[in-house]
Structure 1
């Protein structure tokens, strides 16, 4: 029996405003994670290990940052003569051209392309979470259920539930209620932004909804499509109990890095049976020099440490000079922390130069320093600050 024809649509077009300075000059899926990876590496690696070779990536905001990383898709075995990786940029030429205004709107704009491919199942995933999941297992459960959509669900903290689509699931696995980012969540069961759709009925429903909402637009999947499918009893849940962490905010991004500094990290990124692949191999080995001290940290290739680094993640090319201290922080590629400087509970973006004797962050909220800036010698950036201040002239 032939395997079902599966198409994966990776949503990589959003600006990611909640990541603030980290997404000023790059798309959210291109944000580095755990030193050498990018966020989009996780869904693409899931596709590879799930045996799914037809992957379309919808890009819009800062598309070059995603396209440069993906290239021809070789790290994920997507460089194929037939099928493989395809980029879907905004387009003009018909009534569905133009900028995408939400995930459901984007799916509607690409509807004819999806219909032409004629998949048995359409898997729609975001690229702002860290997890491992066999998408084909979810597809098999979906095709056997008769549902129009299967929502992969996970449990989240009660004080964080309002950030997600929240569902109530019946004993039979049917989704009895769906609320998109509710002010008062009824449960802590959230969709983790992996959906398997039956393409034809879903696209037909989108057409009808587009006519109903008119100029207001289809917006996100949770705005009209998923509530309509749930209301008609056409939605099922697939419970996921593994590690899943949304990293769409500065705080959650920092917290996810702390997860991977544990003695037993929640995911083995080098697991032989399911490694997370990325485009890389361009850096030499990390070096800890005579005065360097490392404690409970991740060091990427090309890092040079002569100072004190504790509980931190250092991306490729980071330099921590003698007498500098980095504690509980995430340093993205090319950061330099000069002698006598201290960085505490901070996320420091690409190519930032922290001047000698400067103090960045402290106890309290996470501090964020934007890409490519120079922190002057002896400067003090308070805990929880954003530098440069995005609201300043």
Structure 2
């Protein structure tokens, strides 16, 4: 199977809803869950699904993502025709960058044509979920269809921008529509989830059709799916079934806003987290630096360093400070008397003595001076910092206090 399926991972979204976290990186490269990048979840799915020919299509602010792919995903053997290769816009047939997700596929047609694969799996690399693609491929072959869409139950409220589909009794797609058109944001529909499987020749035929702009966050629009289904052979594969080697937690998240990202992160600290990071045979691969173990030590005042219900990555040192219900990435430092509550601190953040942080996200390398308070006074926060509609304070990289 590994040589019969070519995988295209789209990492082209600039992620405007995640600004300022995407000022220096693509959405797919945004850190998540204390040690990973968002794209690691899609690539880990490929790894465990025995998909070893992976092209990652990149565009906006791609340096951080390219570096991460080099450092964390150079694990395949090219002698066995295995690879994870980033592909920026080649402009082989024009001078434009990728204009939309489907155009990114179209501009790399030559890579599809020269592949010996029988099928092409197209994935969005900026979503968070775990899935055994091998089972979807088997279902695609068993159903003898040309196109398969992974679908899940959801609503416009929790899956913004997704396309809804209806299926016949055989599981084939008969209609696609914008779920927001129903006027009920809580209505449950079968929604696309950023996983598209094509027979190679069918995909090439679709690339020959007149260009149609696809939605910002997905490959195929509702009219495009309806057109595909009208010509036959489009199957809806239900996500989270009993088949497959991954535990069916049925978790899927598109963090299109800071509030969605923050909520997904805090949910990882629930007693029964919705996303299972601890399945032993489905680890999420990533790059890890050579850092010492995380540790708590007393501060100069003699106060013990403590943490409660939090994630601490390697290299983190809590020296007399207190951390509660927070996620700390590698090499974070919490100084004597500092308090961190409901916070997400990226690599290398340092929190000075006596500082108090609550309900905030601090980007990589932010240095918080002693005594500074963040997230305690809404009026002061909005005057000094960037605050989301949900009240989450975001301190961007390089911020000067």
Report matched runs for 1:71-110 at 5 Å.
Answer: 71=70, 74=73, 77-81=75-79, 82-95=81-94, 98-110=96-108
- Confirm or deny that 1:322 pairs with 2:336: yes
103, 110, 130: which is aligned to 1:112? 110
Alignment TM-score, normalising by the size of structure 1 = 0.86
SS of the aligned residue for 1:99 comes to coil
Give 1:354 deviation, angstroms.
1.9
* Deviation for aligned residue 1:244: 1.7
Given the superposition, is the C-alpha separation of residues 79 and 249 from structure 1 closer, same or farther in structure 2, using an over 3 Å criterion?
farther
Aligned to 2:398: 372
Separation in structure 1 between the aligned mates of residue 163 and residue 197 of structure 2, nearest angstrom: 15
TM superposition shift of 1:365? 2.3
8 Å contact 1:307–1:322 — kept in the other structure?
A: yes
Name 2:301's counterpart in structure 1. Answer: none
| 1:235 Cα deviation from its structure 2 partner | 2.1
- Bigger shift: residues 352-361 or 326-335: 352-361
Task: Indicate conservation of the 8 Å contact 2:268/2:274, yes or no.
Answer: yes
Which residue is 2:247 aligned to?
Answer: none
Which residue of the partner structure matches residue 252 of structure 1?
A: 260
Give deviations 1:310-346, integer Å, cap 9, x for gaps: 1110000111112211111111111112122222111
CA contact (8 A) 1:323 1:339 kept: yes
Q: Which of 365, 379, 400 is 1:351 aligned to?
A: 365
Deviations 1:46-91 (Å, cap 9, x if unpaired)?
111111110011011112111101117646x324232312221112
For structure 1, the residue ranges without an aligned partner over 5 or more in a row are 377-393
CA distance in 1, matches of 2:124, 2:332: 29
Match of 2:244 in 1: none
Q: Secondary structure at the match of 1:47?
A: helix
1:251 partner SS: helix
| Separation in 2, partners of 1:72, 1:181 | 40
Alignment check: 8 A CA contact 1:209 1:225 kept: no
User: What residue is the counterpart of 1:20 in the other structure?
Assistant: 19
- The alignment status of 1:29 with 2:42, answered yes or no, reads no
Higher mean C-alpha displacement, 360-369 vs 84-93: 360-369
Aligned with 2:316 (options 303, 312, 321)? 303
Q: Equivalent residue for 2:350?
A: 336
Q: Give the CA deviation at 1:40.
A: 1.1
Structure 2 gaps, min length 5: 241-249, 299-303, 379-389
Runs of 4+ in 1 over 4 A off after TM superposition: 72-75, 216-220
SS of the residue 1:258 aligns to: helix
| Count of residues in correspondence between the two structures | 368
Deviation at 1:302, TM superposition (A): 0.8
CA distance in 1, matches of 2:286, 2:355: 32
Show CA shifts across 1:82-120 (max 9, x none): 23122211123434x530011111111111220210422
Pick from 145, 148, 163: which aligns with 2:146?
148
Equivalent position SS for 2:78: coil
Query: Secondary structure at 2:98's aligned position in 1?
Result: coil
Q: Does structure 1 retain, via aligned residues, the 8 Å contact 2:37–2:286?
A: yes
Whole-Å separation in 1 of the counterparts to 2:228 and 2:4: 23
Larger displacement relative to structure 2 (285-294 or 353-362) = 353-362
The answer to whether the 8 Å contact 2:351/2:367 transfers is yes
Give the secondary structure class of the aligned counterpart of 2:314: coil
For residues 371-392 of structure 1, the C-alpha deviation after alignment (integer angstroms, 9 at most, x for no partner) is 1213x3xxxxxxxxxxxxxxxx
Q: Separation in 2 of the partners of 1:265 and 1:124?
A: 28
1:160 to 145, 153, 158: 158
**RMSD after superposition:** 2.3
